[in-house]
Amino acid sequence: MKSSTLKPYSVPLLLCQLSLLLLSACGPSASTNDSANRPGASAEDASTSGKPLTGPQSPEAADTLILALGDSLYAGYNLDRGEGFPEELQNALVADGMNVFVVNAGVSGDTSAAGRQRLDYALEGLPRNPDLVVLGLGGNDMLRGIEPEQTRANLDAMLKTLSDRKIKVVLTGMLAAPNLGPEYADAFNPIFPDLAKQYDAALYPFFLDGVVTDSELMLEDGIHPNAEGVDLVVEKIAPVVTGALAE
């Protein structure tokens, strides 16, 4: 199992930013600007402005197929077309010489339970099994105070499904906001490294590492990354994805 090492950050600022997460869930409803590169989506689902998608324009045209399954942090919340995490991840991987298509299966407001319910649908909507699933859910569970045991059970079930299908996984983690208290954090934070180890999945410990502490990389809501923030997230996660595919 490979993991990414988080660089030191300003703890007080990080705690302050994470506290703000309690004021609002990660996109309680889908934004009209959520990226549209997802199963069953059409070009009308997102703004026509923004950055073009490089490389294959459909799953069928790609040698490597990746499914990015997550919440608003994946969906491209309030970003222009092509600026969301899945699209920028594809652009970065294509720039590295890969013929890859990344399907955006991010849905704003999704909990781990909702993701678990639609996992089979997302997989069945693809022309074939993906070579890799980048999985990022659980943030909304934390924001809503859902018991960590439920989050763990849902992610466990999803990872088991992917393991049974012999699909590689990169798990992107989340940290509990400090306002929830140390007991909640002690139960929630280990979910991601524990499950990554159990299922031999690659782990990126904290999706917003190096971004949430910099207001210039965040939208005005203080919760979601802006286009520049997404670029930094992709810069740090892309090598983890490349490593997972190479195993």
191-198 vs 148-164: helix crossing angle, rounded to 10: 20
For residues 39 and 120, what is the distance between their CA atoms, to the nearest angstrom? 12
List the catalytic residue out of 3, 72, 108, 112: 72
Whether the Cβ atoms of residue 135 and residue 167 lie closer than 8 Å to each other: no
CB-count exposure of residue 83 (10 Å: 0-12, 13-18, 19+): buried
CATH of 11-246, one of 3.40.50.720, 3.40.50.20, 3.40.50.2300, 3.40.50.1110: 3.40.50.1110
Q: What is the pLDDT of residues 157-213, one digit of tens each?
A: 999 999 999 999 999 999 999 999 999 999 999 999 999 999 999 999 999 999 999
Q: What is the pLDDT of residues 62-103, one digit of tens each?
A: 999 999 999 999 999 999 999 999 999 999 999 999 999 999
200 is an active site residue: no
Name the phi and psi angles at 202, rounded to 5.
Answer: -70, 145
164 is an active site residue: no
List the catalytic residue out of 4, 141, 209, 224: 224
Q: Which residues pair with 134 in a beta bridge?
A: 68, 170
Q: Is 170 helix (H, G, I), strand (E, B) or coil?
A: strand
Q: How far is CA 15 from CA 12, 55, 105, 106, 245, in A?
A: 5, 38, 29, 26, 33
Per-domain boundaries in the chain: 11-246
221 is an active site residue: yes
Q: What percentage of residues in the chain have a pLDDT greater than 70? A: 80
